[in-house]
Structure 1
Amino acid sequence: MLREGTAVPAVWFSIELIFGLFALKHGAESWMGFVGFLQNPVVVILNLITLAAALLHTKNLV
């Protein structure tokens, strides 16, 4: 069940990546806003949780 729960952080990362692509498309000012968003401590913690979930998901449980 825990392994299936790693889909939630994967969705977070996907949305964040799409947001970054749109920011990149809309110019330097938008991109700098996205970089500022990524530097938010809450976002950094969420990304660390996402990394841990991805590592858990890819771990061979056999």
Structure 2
Amino acid sequence: MLKKVLLRIFFISCLYFLVYLFSSTFRLMVASGGFWAYLHVFMSSVLFLGIFLIVASILHYLFVE
């Protein structure tokens, strides 16, 4: 259950950054500060943590007997 929730949040974060990359209006909203800046920090933390966990699980799979 928790794994599904975390996976969904990770994919929402990926989708968020795709929208952020291709939308200049969205970038301006984030640059203006407030709620959007905090949301951006939260989503980037989720994205980096998710990538780290994926790499760690791959390394665990490769090197643990």
Gaps in structure 1 of 5+ consecutive residues: 25-29
| Sequence identity (%) | 13
Gaps in structure 2 of 5+ consecutive residues: none
Q: CA RMSD in A?
A: 2.9
Structure 1 stretches of at least 4 aligned residues deviating more than 6 Å after TM superposition: 1-5
TM norm structure 1: 0.51
Q: Distance in 2 between matches of 1:21 and 1:46?
A: 13
Q: Is the 8 A contact 2:13 2:43 kept in 1?
A: no
In 2 relative to 1, CA 14–46 (structure 1 residues): closer, same or farther, beyond 3 Å? closer
User: Larger relative CO (CA 8 A, sep 6+): 1 or 2?
Assistant: 1
Identify, as 1 or 2, the structure richer in helix: 2
1:32: which partner in 2? 28
TM norm structure 2: 0.50
